[in-house]
Structure 1
């Protein structure tokens, strides 16, 4: 059977969308939507699906951009393009369909502002951050913008003003949290990235320095979450207390970061960070509904 036949192709096309990441991006947009509307009001499914499609399209474009370097890395050589499960033409068509469908859906079912923000996010991820990764390990700083915008997309799709303090604070929280998230990946697979020609922070900082930097950014993420209550973005006492407990637990979990050396420990830390953000999004949504 041809390796590009339908039986092999469709699972590969699904993998091109990075489902877990795209679902997370769409959920963060939903967080912004509910934060403004105070409920799962009419229109949220269209917003959610539109963001999901654009995020999926952006992920597929990223696979196309990094197909050659993916082939060089142990972690990524079995992805759909380097493994031959999908060819470039199929990936380009798939990415185009997803991206255009998402943009059209947002344009007609939400508003131009939300649509332009979503398209800008795709542009920033694929045209700015992805090429910049090959130039500097500090690409994660501008790259964090990609994670900060989806809540704003949801907020504006629900009718919120882009310059409202609440969504600015939420966006800043997501921005700060992206940095230790990215560094965990780089720390875990740094040698793999170097082998593929990507610059690595391990050439600039010692392992202990990187450990301290990662902990500092993680602590900053937790403190920013606590500030959401102090500045009135989160108003429920029960939710505020839960946020404080979760944030202190996150700091405690990463306090012994210099002792993390084994792959399993990195993966555990990565899971903890992802769960923290999932719970934070759920708490922000819950607070918006019960306030």
Structure 2
């Protein structure tokens, strides 16, 4: 592979593109939910959140570079392998983060930019260091997934204390928890090897899988309540969400005790697909 292309791909990998694209899409969901259309600025809010989320991801990889060397899952990342130096990574993170914050602040309002910067500071300044202290860092860390929809909502002109965005953010908050349990089921030993406190030392695999099922069910129930809170207005879409939520719960019904990595990976994909479909349905309901 061409060396220049290899380096470009390394810098791209630092941004965790799949995660950042998902985060940006949740912000777009909040934007369309308020504006009821792909009104002026929808692409800008997507780009702004994408840039600052990418910058946050780069900072995270700088912070955890030493730990990443010790874990099978992360040892081939650009910084542990030496493809990208920490100084270059910091410059890349600054360029991305500052650009995102300026774009959001200039195009929309100060609160939009402040929320985005707060998310970065919370993720990199609170959640990431807290992972070294307690295995329950996911609880405050889940806030990171709840804020992006609010960023989009506020960018479109919505109030931060409106019940619709508060409940939508709550839904995304709840959904972060089973994601974390799934990662623990798959990579718990890896985390312990790198020195992270892990609940795998407190709970066995069966107990963690039961917790995953409980939080997955809570996520499905929260999705159904989107129509109760008036976020979803179409009866047809409400029934589709009900059906998807039932499928999600049923697919996890026999989960307690599952240990095979292939099944954990499958469950992770199902959860990600579920969230993508819910966001698409919220957008469809808003514009139709």
Scaled to the shorter chain, the TM-score interval is over 0.9
Helix, strand or coil: the match of 2:98? helix
The aligned counterpart of 2:280 is 282
The aligned counterpart of 1:125 is 123
What is the CA distance between 1:7 and its match in structure 2? 4.2
Residue by residue over 1:116-149, the C-alpha shift from the partner in whole angstroms, topping out at 9 and shown as x without a partner, is 0000000000000000011111000000000000
What is the CA distance between 1:265 and its match in structure 2? 0.5
The aligned counterpart of 2:90 is 92
Measured in 2, the distance between the counterparts of 1:144 and 1:178 equals 5
Gaps of 5+ in 2: none
The aligned counterpart of 1:22 is 20
What is the CA distance between 1:9 and its match in structure 2? 2.1
Q: 1:158 aligns with which of 152, 156, 159?
A: 156
Question: Are the equivalent residues in 2 in contact too, given 1:215–1:255 (CA < 8 A)?
Answer: yes
Residue by residue over 1:135-167, the C-alpha shift from the partner in whole angstroms, topping out at 9 and shown as x without a partner, is 111000000000000000000000000000000
What is the CA distance between 1:261 and its match in structure 2? 1.2
What is the CA distance between 1:8 and its match in structure 2? 3.4
Single out whichever of 250-259 and 20-29 deviates more from structure 2: 250-259
What is the CA distance between 1:208 and its match in structure 2? 2.0
Question: Are the equivalent residues in 2 in contact too, given 1:8–1:85 (CA < 8 A)?
Answer: no
Helix, strand or coil: the match of 2:80? helix
The aligned counterpart of 1:42 is 40
Question: Are the equivalent residues in 1 in contact too, given 2:206–2:258 (CA < 8 A)?
Answer: no
Question: Are the equivalent residues in 1 in contact too, given 2:37–2:287 (CA < 8 A)?
Answer: yes
Gaps of 5+ in 1: none
Measured in 1, the distance between the counterparts of 2:64 and 2:284 equals 38
The aligned counterpart of 1:167 is 165
Task: Tell me how large the CA RMSD over aligned residues is.
Answer: 1.3
The aligned counterpart of 1:214 is 212
Measured in 2, the distance between the counterparts of 1:195 and 1:151 equals 35
The aligned counterpart of 2:233 is 235
Measured in 1, the distance between the counterparts of 2:242 and 2:153 equals 24
Measured in 2, the distance between the counterparts of 1:202 and 1:190 equals 6
Indicate whether 1:246 and 2:244 are aligned.
yes
Measured in 1, the distance between the counterparts of 2:87 and 2:127 equals 23
Indicate whether 1:11 and 2:9 are aligned.
yes
Indicate whether 1:148 and 2:159 are aligned.
no
Residue by residue over 1:35-78, the C-alpha shift from the partner in whole angstroms, topping out at 9 and shown as x without a partner, is 00000000111111000000000000001000000000000000
Q: 1:75 aligns with which of 73, 76, 80?
A: 73
The aligned counterpart of 1:66 is 64
